[in-house]
A and B are shown apart, each in its own frame.
Chain A
Amino acid sequence: MMQREEIQKIINEAIAKEFELDISLLVPEANFETLGLDSLDAVDMVVVLEMAFRVDIRNNFTMADFTNLESLHNFIERLVRQKENAGE
């Protein structure tokens, strides 16, 4: 089972690499606006995180899941747990 810290690390590193952000900016309360990201970046973030975790994000999220980085961590962790429980 993947640890929560490991999930967070993968998310943060993927976002930092894709959007050329300093990893220190990726604090739990950071949101799209404070990170300088826009709607096109939101699309690309889904692509990058789906590739990183092999989960279906685009058909499962609501805007509330993307309120800030912490909510994104929680959302991805839920998907990862569902995948683990399904034995995939």
Chain B
Amino acid sequence: MSKNYKTVNVKTPSIDGKGIMMGRPAYTEDLAPKDALVIKVLRSPHAFAKIESIDTQKASELPGVEIVLTHKDFKRNAYTRAGQGYPEPSPHDKFPLDNYVRYVGDEVAAVAAVDEETALEALDLIEVEYKKLTPVLDFEKAKENESIIHPEEDIYEMFPIGFDPKKNVAAAYSMEVGDVEKTLKESDVVVEDSFYTQAQAHVMLEPHTVNAQIDYQDRLVLYSATQTPFHVRRILSQTLEIPLSKIRVIKPRVGGGFGGKQALHGEMLAAAVTKRTGKPSKLTYTRKEVFESSCTRHPMRIDMKIGATKDGKITGIDCYGLSDTGAYGEHALTVFMVTGSKVLPLYNKVDSVRFHGDVVYTNTVSSGAYRGYGAIQGNYALESIVDMLAEKLNMDPMELRQKNMILENETSPIFEIMGEGTEGTAMNMDSCKLDYCVKRGMELIDYKNKYPRRKTDGAKVRSIGGAIAMQGSGIPYIDMGAAIIKLNDDGFYNLMVGATEIGQGSDTILAQIAAEQLGVDVSKVVVYSSDTDLTPFDPGAYASSTTYVSGNAVLKAAKEMRSMVVKEAARSLEVDIDDIEFDGTTFRVKNQEDTLSLSDLSNRLYYNEDQKQLVATGSYYGTKSPPPFMAGFVEVEVDLETGEYDILEYVSVVDCGTTINPELARGQVEGGIVQGLGMAVTEDVHYAKNGKLISSDMLNYKIPTNLTLKKLTTEFADSYEESGPYGAKSVGEIGIDTPPAAIANAVYNATGVRIKTLPVTPEKILKGLKEKEI
């Protein structure tokens, strides 16, 4: 749907790229006061233990130590680090510091000192007596284990989420459409299997970092590398009992988040140190702390059972999930629900579908939000089993998908049943070009000639694998984003948004949306984002909401501003509003010579006549969450003697509605694909027997490099979502979902080995090949 946009859907460089490349101070740590106290955290060496005693005297007496904090220094206000809207769908099961430690790396105490060396020395002087408890390290043995990870009585759920800590259950969910057992019993063909996904780490290059200070108005000011400044402010206020009005949270430039910075990490301790000492403080996680003590993707076991008629109509899907939330329940329920709600509707023509299971606590690193948010786990399981079903039906797997997948103007009952933590919202797929994405993707990968495999040199085989995916665009009726646009003298605008730029380019695309509506160049819209004092509310950068939710808010504000300036121009030119034609820079009176520039109007408004400040506000919450869709195809070359494989090309065809910024949208997709490939291929997680994470640095946890794959081909479907700003849907998460299943399917097509535990390593492939020989 080609519209004549001037700014939207037009190649536009990001508004901040130059300053960032030139290395100007922009990130949280760059902005810390030079005299800030350095905070270091004493972390648990045990997977599960009770702190019997803790003696901080020697540490406190060390010259240069300002304060030592332990659990005794905090009132027991249970909270969740999740960084979600309120009331949170995550259990309040965490204390700023606690007398229990629940994983290796859990917080025991914090020291603030004049420098890092002193702080580290003080940590060594803290004497802790632990009573070791039996840890639960295997999530399949967690439920109703005799070792109870959260025995404390003062933790709670905000509303029913299936929270049952005495059974080590953080959340539980169950839903069914039709009678799935009956449907599957009556199906001609049934395939079932279990799939395991690992605790992928975000590995954003900027570690978690925060600094705090008390300003001259005696308010607590935090600079934080966060995706959710407004939630951070609220959670600090509730937990530390500081009035909300006394806290300001500023989000500077953020060096990547991917969900990892939705949660609170150092904020609680930095706020506590500065509040108590009155002195500025900073806390930057070491890379080891990022791995060991922040959060990861929820590892899951997913049992999929799928049925079909002989001619390939999928009749029913039964999905049981067991999700491992680690020591704390951040995003326990919602990630789990997305595993069903943003995966199962892909095959909407089934007679019955069931999704159920538990999210359990274990004594491992806590799980949390991570791009893909449950969908990537579910997608791997579903899109693997669909290929397995196709084989059993003796049918091409893409043909099976085309026959059963969701199409434009269709719906799925799941949308109404499942939301994020609550009931969902019924919606039709007003824009869904999934059929085009599949068709075009097959052309681009040359499916006809390359599927399923071709022999190349010696022991090498090339093969193709594919998968389809969907995501959402914000959380309907829950997440509200807002924008303020201010006109300045000389006729340029400020756009203030709560929306949180974390490197994904939201400041740029929101400026484009405003500029398009206001008819000006992007350079005339100066963006300021994410400062709880100065910008309007926004939930933050998560749930694929910024373009759709915050973008709609910006559009509303821009429309309002446009009508305001037209009204003022009409007053100045002494004509009716309807007689004004406005191209963004010049007002013209219909059928007359009279003109007025926006610059002159602005100067008049601020200096000369009818003086006033023009400010427009827009806020928006979704009443649906239109999914972006995509088809992904990968070509691999497998060495049948070693199991090693090269990734030759990844083709993505995406329907995200209008791409507000085509290059940045491509960046979101390609970045997502490569992150998904990391999960599919190299990002292996290892724990020692005592529960200590081994893969806790970048030497041992391997993310993709620029040699991981040879070629990325990315295209967008021509699509227009009526409810989105200029037809846009989300694009932040959709890219990550397909690689695990596509890789597993391609490897199967090359080798006949089905890998059901991520990542798909050469060693597992070779083991499968050897087992086949026997």
A binds B: no
Listed in ascending order, the chain B residues whose CB lies under 8 Å from chain A are none
